[in-house]
Amino acid sequence: SILLGSEWLIQSFIQLWRGSYYYGVLLTEQAQVHTRFTRIELPKYSLEMLEKGPKAKFTVCVEGNIGSGKSTLLEHFSKFDDVEVLQEPVEKWRDVRGCNLLDLMYKDPCRWAHTFQAYVQMTMLELHLQSTQAPVKLIERSLYSARYCFVENLYKGGKMSSAEYSVYCEWYKMITQHLNVNIDLIVYLKTDPKKLYKRIKERSRSEEQAIPFQYLEALHNLHEGWLTEKKYPLPAPVLVLDANDNLSTMYKKFEEHTSDILCQKLVEQRSSDLGTTGILPPPSPLKAVN
């Protein structure tokens, strides 16, 4: 991001302009400045969406390293009628007016890390704020893992300068403090880096083939530090699932933990819809398949 921030400047904005509407204006202005200087267009946010926040009643973020099985979990729960799944916007990162930012970041992180992460922050914010009709919203990753795992790894690895890191953190701070990006549960798919490396080689995604094992190991340590050792702030309770098993075993685990992840919320929602305080039996997923 070209727009430089400072604690004094942000506090001045906060004192002058209270309310999420004005933070929406600031984010829109940041996008315009970024586009003008880099020629990379950022998402245009609805100020009404920024002001009101998401309408989902229960938000779950699925976290984990590259190749940990996040897409598999999301695909499984997408078969439930009362769940809306929002996947990581990878296709946006691959095609920003014909520019593959994801590929550029992997090939030359020192040059592209901050530009890429600024775009990730904007597109992930869009997912957090997106209204849903379903009572449960499942998001692949989050603003929080971008900050405490991926950006932290780039900064510690010397791929992001102190100035770039500070600007990113200022915007992250303002977003999380003044916009409704709250979440209710984190599902952490904990996976051994050696297993991840093998999976990545097998699935053969072009941008991922240059990923070294050390990168996966560093990200694993940061996920562990954040989600199990609590070295960084946790925005919600964490459910840890061992994701080292094969696909069939993982599907069984997802079934076993369905109530932990979303069914209790659906019970509460349906009780509310019926105007009763009684406890209903857990709803059966109408579209779920074995």
As annotated, the active-site residues are 140
- What is residue 120's DSSP assignment? H
Q: Which tokens is 251 given?
A: 């599907």
Q: Are strands 185-190 and 83-86 parallel, antiparallel or unpaired?
A: unpaired
Q: Are 271 and 277 a contacting pair, CB within 8 Å? A: yes
Q: In whole angstroms, give the CA distance from residue 267 to residue 123.
A: 31
Nearest partner of 221 among 210, 211, 231, judged by Cα:
231
Query: Facing residues of 242 across strands?
Result: 190
DSSP E strand stretches across 95-161: 136-140
State the helix-helix crossing angle for 247-256 and 70-77, rounded to 10 degrees: 50
Q: Check: CB of residue 253 under 8 Å from CB of residue 68.
A: no
DSSP codes joined into one string, 198-214: HHHHHHT-GGGTT--HH
Give the separation between CA 183 and CA 236, rounded to whole angstroms.
6
- 224's CB contacts (< 8 A; 6+ apart) are 190
